Amino acid sequence: MAVDLGALDGDALDELMGKVVTDLGAIALAPLLSIGERLGLFRALADGEAVTPAELGERTATVERNVREWLAAMAASGYVTYVGEGRYRLSPEQVAVFTDEDSPVFVLGGFQAFAAAARPETRDRLERAFLDGHGVAWHEHHRDLFAGTARFFRPGYALHLVAEWLPALDGVVDRLRVGANVADVGCGLGHSTLLMAKAFPGSRFSGFDYHAPSIDAARELAAESGAGESGAGESGAGESGEGARVTFEVAGGKDFGGGPYDLVAYFDCLHDMGDPVGVLAHTREQLAPDGTVMLVEPFSHDDVSQNLNPLGRAFYSASSLICVPASQSQEVGRALGAQAGEQRIHEVATEAGFGRFRRAAETPFNIIYEVGNRAG
């Protein structure tokens, strides 16, 4: 049937087509961001100096013609600033967002992770998962997802975890100062574990994840960081011996050991697990009677209509590609999704037998829940 354009609302159509053009550009831009990072194009602009494509090409041993097109694509996106007369520079904000791995607003890890999940071979698997409901496991993704996710989340953890999230939990910082036993479950590459270990040298930290390559990487990062070395008389990070203060072990959420724990933390991962109720029920068995569970989850409202905004779009899209299929691939397949919201997370904690639940802190990107046994 031929579409009668005259019968359509012209303004609504223009608005929709504007979004489509923006998104077409975004899809083409994603690999260019990765190329820009890998070839050092962003880094070479970090001094904020205005350069020509030829000068940037010289700085990075790349071809001027390709760099010229890349710079124009970035400038049209607002990711690089065109200053006229063929020169481009990064503003201080663009430097913080695109060049500084330690900046709280560094984003290139996010592009690395999303691009990994969008790879054609993964898309084909996901397409099958939409038909058979068996999901796609976390470990079936390209390795860029593991590194990219860790790089994407680390700046937020570095900014908030020790300064705000742990202090928002009742009595937890006092225990960490004295000497607590802590588990970080679904720890991935272990940045959260290492940040806590560095801040509280008198406590012991165990990172667990079912994905062996992530645990191998966590051990390497721990050894490089020396995070465990300040524990009084104890051996270093990444070791798995009796005395090690920071250890990383391959274990799933329903079979990690080492309790009783004063604190068990889940960073952006409970919703990825197939059986979050089973995982939290197991956590109860590993928790000291007065211990605390910290659930860090992506920010979300309970009702879908309240999440229909740019952040919700990024989270629902990642959830469709990564989180829901990951959970579906595991036992039970509860598939909470990255936008589960407080009510559903509370339900899961209650089903697991916990009587204490509250929202302890939040940022624009995360909600931090405190969970425990009923006092008394």
Ligand X SMILES: C[S@@+](CC[C@H](N)C(=O)[O-])C[C@H]1O[C@@H](n2cnc3c(N)ncnc32)[C@H](O)[C@@H]1O
Contact residues for ligand X, defined by CB under 6 A: 138, 149-150, 153, 186-188, 192, 209-211, 214, 252-253, 267-269, 272-273, 330
Which residues are CB-neighbours of 27 under 8 A, at least 6 positions away?
Answer: none
Q: What are phi and psi of 105, to 5 degrees?
A: -115, 20
Return the number of the residue (182 or 269) whose C-beta is nearest ligand X.
269
**What would the two tokens of residue 374 be?**
């009923």
CB 214 to ligand X: min, Å: 5
CB 111 to ligand X: min, Å: 16
DSSP 264-288: EEEES-GGGSS-HHHHHHHHHHHEE
CB 256 to ligand X: min, Å: 8
Return the number of the residue (155 or 188) whose C-beta is nearest ligand X.
188
CB 198 to ligand X: min, Å: 16
Calpha distance 307→302 (Å, rounded) = 8
Return the number of the residue (18 or 257) whose C-beta is nearest ligand X.
257
Give the 3-state secondary structure of 345-358. HHHHHHHCCCCEEE
Return the number of the residue (153 or 315) whose C-beta is nearest ligand X.
153
Which residues are CB-neighbours of 284 under 8 A, at least 6 positions away?
Answer: 352, 353, 354, 373
Residue nearest ligand X (C-beta atom): 188
DSSP 293-340: EEEEEE---SSGGGG-SHHHHHHHHHIIIIIHHHHHTSSS-----TT-
CB 161 to ligand X: min, Å: 10
Return the number of the residue (45 or 264) whose C-beta is nearest ligand X.
264
CB 192 to ligand X: min, Å: 6
Return the number of the residue (274 or 312) whose C-beta is nearest ligand X.
274
